[in-house]
Structure 1
Amino acid sequence: MDYLLLKYIHVLGAIVILGTGTGIAFFMLMAHRTQDAAFVARTAGVVVVADLLFTASAVAIQPVTGYLLADMMGVPLGSGWLGLALALYVVAGAFWLPVVWIQMRMRDLARSAAASGQALPQAYHRLYRIWFLCGFPGFGSVMAILWLMIARPAL
């Protein structure tokens, strides 16, 4: 495969991960602020689909394109900035995977509350706090990876 095409696909994957993550966080936060169970349920439903469709696809493509690029450039996977980027990728994934499940559970709790005409339950609010806190290391890792990809610092 052509180096520039492979790099384009890799960068596009990074953009999708960062953009989808940012959009999901924004829409979930804004829906949560309304405390409207029906609105939260609809928003969380769309967020889950977006995460599974866009984020998961890009997350699957990144290691493949990254490996191929490293191989073409002759950069060992565990060395320097690339080794740190891979470690951060694992950190991001360790926070993203539970977040997907949390979003599904928040969606289900909001749907149940909306169907019964009740407020969002305590279980929803507990999950929301966990979801919110997971965003910092998960999103921070992705931001750091992007910087490492661009700067390629000598480490």
Structure 2
Amino acid sequence: MTAYFILKFLHVIGATVLLGTGAGIAFFMLAAHLSGNPATIAGTARLVVRADFLFTATAVVVQPITGVLLAQNVGYSLLDGWIAWSIVLYLFTGAFWLPVVWMQMKMRDLAAAAVRENRPPPPQYHKLFWWWFAFGFPAFAAVLAIFWLMIAKPPLPFFL
């Protein structure tokens, strides 16, 4: 097996982990929130934070490494339009993901406090949840666009 195929395999697995973990986290956090049960929210948020650090963060590191090595292996420039736009979208996604991780940790803590104090989650939790929910849409759309760029490799201009 060549270095190209190993890198491509790792890159595809990393992309799949990013997309799948993102979709799964969104589904389970939304379901927990809709339950209205502070214990369900706290337990789910605890697992979501773990999953983000274990799976998402690992893939976030692997993707650019395998992407750059793949481009070098094949002879693409990182300034080729579809690659450059993928990098821009990747950074855009990260700009939404980093605050989302903080929001998830804060929501986890607020829900856990609500469980300890035998009360519903406070208004701050609900405000954070809706910000978290809103941040997911542009990030998820950008990841889908990156998938399309990686598959289609369209001849797009990129201006620096």
Which category describes the TM-score, using the shorter chain as reference length?
Answer: over 0.9
**Aligned partner of residue 154 in structure 2, secondary structure:** coil
Q: Which amino acid aligns with 2:16?
A: I
Matched, 1:142 2:139: no
Q: CA deviation at 1:70?
A: 0.5
2:24 corresponds to: 23
2:79 corresponds to: 78
1:2 corresponds to: 3
Matches within 5 A, 1:35-50: 35-50=36-51
1:99 corresponds to: 100
Q: CA deviation at 1:50?
A: 0.3
Q: Identity, % of aligned pairs? A: 55
TM-score normalized by the length of structure 1: 0.98
TM-score normalized by the length of structure 2: 0.95
Q: Which amino acid aligns with 1:135?
A: G
What are structure 1's unaligned runs of at least 5 residues? Answer: none
**Aligned partner of residue 120 in structure 1, secondary structure:** coil
Q: Write out per-residue CA displacement over residues 79-136 of structure 1, whole angstroms, 9 at most, x where no aligned residue.
A: 2100000000000000001100100000000000111110110000000010000001
Q: Which amino acid aligns with 1:19?
A: G
Whole-Å Cα distance in 1 between the matches of residues 35 and 148 of structure 2? 34
Q: Once superposed, what is the RMSD of the aligned Cα atoms? A: 0.7
2:65 corresponds to: 64
2:56 corresponds to: 55
Whole-Å Cα distance in 1 between the matches of residues 74 and 6 of structure 2? 14
Q: Write out per-residue CA displacement over residues 31-50 of structure 1, whole angstroms, 9 at most, x where no aligned residue.
A: 00011111100000000000
Give the ranges of 4+ consecutive aligned residues of structure 1 lying more than 2 Å apart after TM superposition: none
Whole-Å Cα distance in 2 between the matches of residues 78 and 109 of structure 1? 44
Matched, 1:112 2:121: no
Whole-Å Cα distance in 2 between the matches of residues 124 and 75 of structure 1? 46
Q: Write out per-residue CA displacement over residues 12-59 of structure 1, whole angstroms, 9 at most, x where no aligned residue.
A: 000000000000000000000011111100000000000000000000
1:34 corresponds to: 35
Q: Which amino acid aligns with 1:33?
A: L
Whole-Å Cα distance in 1 between the matches of residues 155 and 74 of structure 2? 15
2:90 corresponds to: 89
Q: CA deviation at 1:75?
A: 1.0
